[in-house]
Each structure stands twice: as structure tokens, then as C-alpha cells.
Structure 1
Amino acid sequence: MKSLFVTIVSLFSLSAAYAQTWSVDKAHSRAGFTVTHNLLAEVDGNFKTFDAKITAAKPDLSDAVFEFTADVNSISTDNERRDNHLKSPDFFDAAKFPTLTFKSTSFKKVEGKKYKITGDLTMHGVTKPITLDATMTGPVMMKGMGGKEQEKAGFKINSTLKRSDFSVGTIPVVVVSDEVEIKVNGEFAKQDGAVAEKK
């Protein structure tokens, strides 16, 4: 029994030692959302300042862990007055809760290129589990600027959540919908070298 335990611990340690970090290419990625205004029209927005990474030991990313952070003060809907309102205590209260974060706890294949990403979203000081629908393209080797080859992967992520679950805004749903559609497109590049787990 002891030898089995040692073997399992060794395998986990080996996997962690060879985990790779995939960094987001911000120039080719977008973290956005859509709400419905007055039950009539859809309004799109996005976070101008964000960061994301994937950590995985397996080449096919089947053990991927996703981490995402957004600066709430960077929210943009192409309307300064509306953006300032969204950052106010009426909605996100960016002065008190300046950061939005997500970290996955599960990445499971559904079929083909379709996956489910489950994890904890922290927004407006509230942390709740959510599940995202994801489509993965790659990983593939591609040549970048200068002709250097680098392994890359693309993700298209969608989901719908309720802003009321995170206490974001008390404005009636006939003015701004409770349902918020999440739309994330990300291009990630594998970084050189193994990343050992920090103790």
C-alpha cells in the first residue's frame, strides 16, 4: 500500500513538473458580453484590460486549467456615460471590486471539438461555480513573425449567467436583462520550457 501511495505521488509530481503554460495572445483575443436593453436591442461590451493563461501537462490540453482576470475599470460599451454607470455602485462598483476572476476546476470533452469548462467565477465580491461551453481548435504548430514556430490553440467560449446571482445591479430586468451572454475568443501560445509547480 505504501509503495502504491509513493507511486501515485511521484506521478502527480512528475505531471506538475512538466506542466506547460499557454499564454493568451491579447492582440487576437477578446473577452466580451451581451445584454438586452429595454427588451428590444442587444448591447455589446468587453473588457479592454484582461489576462488569461492555460496550464496543462498533456499535449492535447485534456488536463487544462484555465485562469482569467479582467480589470472592471476597463469595461467598454462604446459609450462613456454608460461605461461610467456600469462601473458605479449601481452595477459593478469597480472602486470596491476592481477585479473579475475565473479559475477552472474541470475541463471535459463533450464530442469532437466541443468541451465543458467548469470553474469558479468571482465578480462583485461574489464567488459562484459556472459552466462554460467551449470549442477548441488545435493545438497546432504555426509560424509566427520571424519564421519561428510555436504551438498554438484557439478557444471560442460561450455561456449565459444571471447578473442577479452576483448582485450586479438592481435596475429592473425590463431595462437591462438579468441574463448576460458571455462571449470569449482566445488564442493561446505555448511558452518554452517546463513550468514546475510552486510550493
Structure 2
Amino acid sequence: MKKATLFTAFLFASAATFAQTWKLDKAHAKVGFTVTHLLVSEVDGNFKTFDATLTSSKPDFSDAVVELTADVNSIDTDNERRDSDLKSDKFFDAAKFPTLTFKSKTFQKVEGKKYKVTGDMTMHGVTKPVTLDVTLNGPIQHPMSKKDVAGFKITGELKRSDFGIGPNMTTAVVSDEIALRANAEFGKQ
């Protein structure tokens, strides 16, 4: 029994040892969203302050773990009045819930460079499971730094009502469906 326990501990330690951490290159990353306004136009926004890490022991990232945090107070829709409204208790309530987070549970290869990432999104004090589409670009060796880099294009959709955001705002004014998109470049550490 003692040998089995030691062997199991060795296996877990070995798996952790071979996991590679990939650091976000913030100069080449963006986390954004799109909503429909008055049923006729789309409004884009993003979070100016965010960070993410990716850890994977497999070169095809099929076991990747992704963690993202975004500062809700950094929301930017190119309109100060709208941004203030979004930060208020009518929507995100940034004073009470200043951080948006995502932590993956699975990162599954679909085919080729296409993946599905499923994890827990927390906004406005509510945590819900979400599934996002991911396209992998790379990895390649950076021509200047000679380090491995990989790019990820992430898209998906969620409902703001699932997170209690803008509960008094009708969908005729602001859509319930929020399109998510992110582009991120990571460098292997």
C-alpha cells in the first residue's frame, strides 16, 4: 500500500513538473464584447485592465487551464457617460463587484486548431458555467525573442440576465445576448 501511495504522489508531482506556464502579452491582447442597442445597432466595448494565465503540459494545449481576471472599472465603450452607467448599480455595480473572472474546467480539442473551453464565469457576484470557441494560432518561435508564442482567438455568447446585469433594462434597449470576443498572445515561460 505504501508503494502505491508513493507512486501516485510521484505521478502527480511529475505531471505538475511538466506543465508549462504561458504568460499573457498584454500589448497583443484584448478582451471585448458586443451588445445590440435598440434592436438596430451594435455597440462594442472592452476591458482595458485584465490579466490571464495559461498552463498546459501538452504541446497541443488539450489539457490547458486558463484563468482570466478583468477590472470592471476599466470598461470602455468609447463613451464616458455610457461607461459610467455600466459601472453603476444599474448594470455591473463595479463598486460592489469590481472583478470579472473566468477559470476553465476543460479545454477540449474539436479538430485541427479548433477547441472548446468550458469554465466558470463570475460577474456581478454570480458564477455560471460558459462554453467558448477557441482558435489556436501557432505556437511558433518569436523571431526576435526566440521564445515560443501562441495566439488564441476566443468567441462566445452569454446572457446578461443570467448574471443579474441590467435587470431593469429591457431587451429592446440593450440585448440580453452579449457576444464575447478575446484575442490573446501568450509566451511560454
TM range, normalised to the smaller chain? over 0.9
Match of 2:57 in 1: 57
Deviations 1:161-197 (A, max 9, x none): 0000000012000000000000100000011xxxxxx
Structure 2 alignment gaps of length 5 or more:
none
Alpha-carbon RMSD: 1.2
CA distance, structure 2, for counterparts of residue 173 and residue 155 of structure 1: 31
Structure 1 residue 15 displacement after superposition: 1.2
Deviations 1:25-80 (A, max 9, x none): 11111000000000000000000000011011223322110000000000000000
Q: After TM superposition, give the deviation of residue 3 of structure 1 in Å.
A: 4.2
Give the structure 1 partner of residue 87 of structure 2: 87
Q: How far apart, in 1, do the equivalents of 2:153 and 2:21 lie?
A: 19
Report the secondary structure of 1:92's partner residue.
coil
Residue in structure 1 matched with residue 159 of structure 2 by the alignment: 162
Question: 1:86 and 1:189 mapped to 2: Cα distance?
Answer: 33
Greater alpha carbon shift after TM alignment, 9-18 vs 45-54: 9-18
State the Cα deviation string for residues 109-133 of structure 1 (Å, max 9, x = none).
0111100000011100001111010
Q: Percent identity?
A: 63
Name which of structure 1's ranges 1-10 and 105-114 shifts more when overlaid on structure 2.
1-10
Partner residue, 2:176: 178
Q: State the one-letter code of the partner of 2:174.
A: V
1:13 maps to a residue whose letter is: A
Q: How many residues align?
A: 188
Give the equivalent residue in structure 1 for 2:188: 190
Note if contact 2:61-2:107 (Cα within 8 Å) is conserved in structure 1.
no
**Alignment of structure 1 residues 26-105 onto 2, 5 Å:** 26-105=26-105
- Partner SS state of residue 28, structure 1: strand
TM-score normalized by the length of structure 2: 0.95
SS at match of 1:17: helix
Give TM-score scaled by structure 1 length.
Answer: 0.91
Unaligned runs of 5+ in 1: 192-199
